[in-house]
Amino acid sequence: MKTYSIASVPADGIGQEVVPAALEVLKVLQQRDRGFRLRVETFPWGSEYYRHHGLMMPTSGLETLRPFDAILFGAVGAPDIADDITLWGLRLRICQSFDQYANIRPTRILPGIRSPLSGRGPGDLDMMIVRENSEGEYAGQGGRSHRGLPEEVGTETAIYTRAGCERIMRFAYELARSRPRKKLTVVTKSNAQRHGMVMWDEISAEVGAQFPDVASDKMLVDAMTARMVNNPGSLDTVVATNLHADILSDLAAALAGSLGIAPTANLNPPRKFPSMFEPIHGSAFDITGKGIANPIGTFWTTVLMLDHLGEKAAAARLMAAIEKTTAAAVFTPDLGGKAKTKDVTQAVIDAL
Ligand code: GGG
């Protein structure tokens, strides 16, 4: 029997509620499946750790995480700590140090869930957004000068490298090829951003030439938002820069019913470092502690994690249990229901 080591980092806000819920579900799944075991270790990092130590994770945190097979992450963000400290101190520190350059964000309307797009239901939206996850607008380049003076200046420089563009395009084309529709939409803004984004377009065309069986098109990010609302069925795999994909995937999740159901995987495709799995949503401190956080995003995230570990049957079994639960309308308030986190968790366990 295979045993996988999982580092659990629930971190902030509702991360402390949805990650334990996912671990409960995973425990039952292992009893049901019997083909694999998970050895889970939980790390108390995040904003509370920061309040005591002035850091979101220990200086040795990356070394600690490195030997694990995967990382299950909750969320970062706290009302009393600047967002750039929480994001860069933990989530981005792990993503960038472990070269998790491909972030995948599947979106579907799950059975029983009503999309805010009238007349749309399961089958009308089935997208896979690929977020470039290592550079672009999140390169961390920039600075502030003349603070507090009238001539104060702040710069935020997006960096696009040939190597970075090539590898994410190759990843996206391969993913598109593996899906039945073999379609890739490349999101850009090369009309206004005429250097890095033009190079992004050129490299997408170069890489695309090696995938003649994948149909590709190019969309400006502004027009893409309208297409996602007006004609979501025309989209399959989508690749976009770090910031564009971050924004578009929140829109995609909302169109699929709620940000609370959306999963994501931060992948290091060569598997030199562990990959990290997390719900798309953040810490949601407005609902923290109320017991009403939607755990579906984290459950679906664990499906991505099991898939990545090679436990395809267990992943499919868990996805089926999630879909059975949504079809039965066991919904938390974000989906218009009255269920608590624990009710949704129990429903998924019962379905397993
Ligand atoms: N689980 C995702 C999470 O914690 N997100 C917090 C956040 O602020 N994300 C912004 C980003 O990753 O760009």
**Ligand 1 surroundings by CB, under 6 angstroms:** 75-77, 87, 91, 246, 278-279, 282
CB 185 within 8 A of CB 216: yes
| Ligand 1 atom closest to residue 91's alpha carbon, by position in its atom list | 4
- Report domain extents, the chain: 1-114+262-352, 126-255
Closest CA to 103 of 127, 129, 131: 131
Angstrom distance (rounded) from CA 333 to CA 237: 30
Residue 1 has pLDDT above 90, yes or no: no
| Ligand 1 atom closest to residue 12's alpha carbon, by position in its atom list | 4
Contacts of 25 (CB under 8 A, 6+ apart): 299, 302, 318, 345, 348, 349, 352
Closest CA to 10 of 40, 52, 38: 40
Pocket test for ligand 1, best of 91, 92, 283 (most atoms within 8 A of CB): 91
Instruction: Summarize pLDDT for 103-145 with one digit per residue, the tens.
Output: 999 999 999 999 998 788 788 899 999 999 999 999 999 999 9
Instruction: Summarize pLDDT for 289-329 with one digit per residue, the tens.
Output: 999 999 999 999 999 999 999 999 999 999 999 999 999 99
Instruction: Summarize pLDDT for 195-210 with one digit per residue, the tens.
Output: 999 999 999 999 999 9
Residue 150 has pLDDT above 80, yes or no: yes
Nearest CA to ligand 1 atom 13: 246
| Ligand 1 atom closest to residue 11's alpha carbon, by position in its atom list | 4
Q: Output the six-digit token pair for 219.
A: 């969309």
Strand (E) positions, 233-274? 237-240, 263-267
Q: Are strands 215-220 and 153-159 parallel, antiparallel or unpaired?
A: unpaired
Angstrom distance (rounded) from CA 184 to CA 348: 33
Question: Rounded to a whole number, what is the distance in angstroms from the first to the last CA of the chain?
Answer: 20
What pLDDT, on a 0 to 100 scale, did the predictor assign at position 121?
A: 77
Instruction: Summarize pLDDT for 321-337 with one digit per residue, the tens.
Output: 999 999 999 999 999 99
- Spacing, Cα 177 to ligand 1 middle (Å): 28
- Spacing, Cα 78 to ligand 1 middle (Å): 12
What pLDDT, on a 0 to 100 scale, did the predictor assign at position 75?
A: 98
Pocket test for ligand 1, best of 8, 16, 56, 76 (most atoms within 8 A of CB): 76
Task: For the chain, give the mean pLDDT.
Answer: 97
The pLDDT-based confidence of 163 (bands split at 50, 70, 90) is very high
- Spacing, Cα 246 to ligand 1 middle (Å): 9
Nearest CA to ligand 1 atom 11: 246
Angstrom distance (rounded) from CA 166 to CA 28: 41
Give the pLDDT mean for 151-175. Answer: 98
User: Per the CATH hierarchy, to which homologous superfamily does domain 1-114+262-352 belong?
Assistant: Isopropylmalate Dehydrogenase (3.40.718.10)
- Spacing, Cα 114 to ligand 1 middle (Å): 25
What pLDDT, on a 0 to 100 scale, did the predictor assign at position 25?
A: 98
- Spacing, Cα 91 to ligand 1 middle (Å): 7
Residue 34 has pLDDT above 90, yes or no: no
What pLDDT, on a 0 to 100 scale, did the predictor assign at position 32?
A: 87
**Whole-model pTM above 0.95?**
yes
Please indicate whether the domains covering 1-114+262-352 and 126-255 agree at the CATH topology level: yes
| Ligand 1 atom closest to residue 92's alpha carbon, by position in its atom list | 12
What pLDDT, on a 0 to 100 scale, did the predictor assign at position 124?
A: 87
Give the pLDDT mean for 210-221. Answer: 98
CATH topology of domain 126-255: Isopropylmalate Dehydrogenase (3.40.718)
